[in-house]
Amino acid sequence: MINTVSVIGLGKLGGSMAAGLASRGLNVIGVDVNRQAVDAINAGRAPVQETGLDEMIAANRERIRATLSTEEAVLGSDLSFVIVPTPSDERGAFTLQYARYAFKALGQAMHKKMGYHVIVLTSTVLPGATRHGLLPILEHESGKKCGPDFGLCYNPEFIALGSVIRDFLNPDFYLLGESDSRAGDLLEQVHHRVSQNNAPVKRMSLENAELAKIAVNSYVTMKISFANMLADFCEHIPGGDVDVISDALGMDKRIGRKYLTGGFGFGGPCFPRDNVALNFMGRQLDVNSSLLEANDDYNRGLSKRYVDKLQTHLPKGANVAVLGLAYKPLSHVIEESPGIYLCRALSEAGYRVVGHDNLAAPHAEMELKMSALVTDSLDEALKDADVVLVATTDKSYTELTAEVLLHGRDKVTVIDFWRCLKSLGEDPRITYVPIGLCRDDDATSAKLKPLWM
């Protein structure tokens, strides 16, 4: 039975995995090239910001330690998870430069090790990368053979930032690609021990697991775009309400309600890039992946389309406030964030834009320096705003009152992407524009009628 594992890469995912593994009784040796991450773990602190991570590391201190040395970690453990960055390149593919470096160190460490060891890649890669891009490095550096001497698995995690620990300990299933059954058996044992919800393990080849991982994310993004398209349809039928439609669709077991709330686009560090990468792979392999391309185009074009279609509510030269710059509430991450794209689209259309975010303001300020003022003060963002666009469902926005939005003026327009401030529609001083709801039954009826003449 495996009692000690190592975790190579203590970032947003690896840091939480190390804590999660230790919380389930495993001894964990963390490795990072960044001394600050190593020092943080050894001081009993979280190396990155994540819900509950500080507390979990502090509570399991006796079972977690960290080092800069991959060799020390490999010699001291039986299995190593590798969670280093695999950034997207200009073509949309995932690069392996960090993974290659990590695998070289792992191979050199295995050269010095007597017993069997399992290497588990968790970073997101494209099909074939583990076997053809990384395994040869392990065999070359260690002088050993995959199978008899060591095992290799591909085992991604389906987690969301902000709930990484909970998701890691309670997954829907474990996706396990394996070089051979000995390696897969050992990793499966680790998962049975770690899982709080007795999650099933789906075992397969390395390549099938690599494809399944990005297919899951690409599929979910298609669902989001579908809901966003339905939101648009609903604005064109009398009484149209995207939430009513989504609730109905969600009752169908083939569809399900999750990720089917129409509103704004998808963003963040995983969804857009996994979709783009799968499309890249499709082009390389002569697979018609135009579905994925259409989804990406649709999502990237949302902000600009909203700015165009909301022209009647956006008077020329208006001061506009965009609330929510992170890609989702309670996050400081702005990668591919719809709120950021919206600020840019508004600025390009000639508006004076102020962006607000409680957590993401420092990052957003750098990103938007040519297009918008950025603040973490809601008061500052709202004080001169003629139009307020609510881009995320952060609690500080869903609890906004008419008085706070008006800020002493006699009128303001509120564009609500998530329909979280519906009661504002009753206030005569507020022009309330909910996305995904019909706003003019007569006009939409008049447009429908000729279709049936």
Ligand X SMILES: NC(=O)c1ccc[n+]([C@@H]2O[C@H](COP(=O)([O-])OP(=O)(O)OC[C@H]3O[C@@H](n4cnc5c(N)ncnc54)[C@H](O)[C@@H]3O)[C@@H](O)[C@H]2O)c1
In the three-class reduction of DSSP (H, G, I as helix; E, B as strand; rest coil), residue 233 is classed as helix
Q: What is the 8-class DSSP label of residue 241?
A: B
Smallest gap, in angstroms, from Cβ of residue 124 to ligand X?
4
- How far is residue 237 from each of residues 286, 298, 418, 445, measured CA to CA in Å? 40, 21, 18, 7
Closer residue to ligand X in complex, CB, 327/351:
327
Q: Tell me which residues touch ligand X (CB under 6 A).
A: 8-14, 31-34, 37, 83-86, 98, 101-102, 123-124, 157, 159, 161, 269-270
- Catalytic-role residue among 234, 270, 343, 438: 270
Closer residue to ligand X in complex, CB, 84/420:
84
420 counts as catalytic: no
Backbone angles phi, psi at 322, to 5 degrees: -105, 120
Residue 257 is which amino acid? R
Smallest gap, in angstroms, from Cβ of residue 335 to ligand X?
10
Smallest gap, in angstroms, from Cβ of residue 119 to ligand X?
13
Smallest gap, in angstroms, from Cβ of residue 161 to ligand X?
5
Cβ-Cβ contacts under 8 Å for 327 (sequence gap 6 or more): 266, 267, 268, 333, 334, 335, 336, 337, 338, 339
Smallest gap, in angstroms, from Cβ of residue 139 to ligand X?
18
Closer residue to ligand X in complex, CB, 157/365:
157
Closer residue to ligand X in complex, CB, 46/368:
46
Cβ-Cβ contacts under 8 Å for 242 (sequence gap 6 or more): 227, 230, 231, 234, 261, 262, 419, 436, 437
Closer residue to ligand X in complex, CB, 70/179:
70
CA–CA separation, 336 and 344 (whole Å) = 12
Collect contacts of 428-433 with beta carbons under 8 A, ≥24 apart. Answer: 429/402, 430/402, 430/405, 430/406, 431/313, 433/310, 433/313
CA–CA separation, 187 and 173 (whole Å) = 14
CA–CA separation, 154 and 183 (whole Å) = 10
Closer residue to ligand X in complex, CB, 133/238:
133
Q: Judging by beta carbons within 10 Å of its beta carbon (0-12, 13-18, 19+), is residue 292 exposed, middle or buried?
A: buried
* Beta-bridge partner residues of 323: 356, 390
Smallest gap, in angstroms, from Cβ of residue 274 to ligand X?
8
- How far is residue 188 from each of residues 1, 176, 368, measured CA to CA in Å? 11, 8, 45
In the three-class reduction of DSSP (H, G, I as helix; E, B as strand; rest coil), residue 438 is classed as coil
Residues annotated as part of the active site: 270
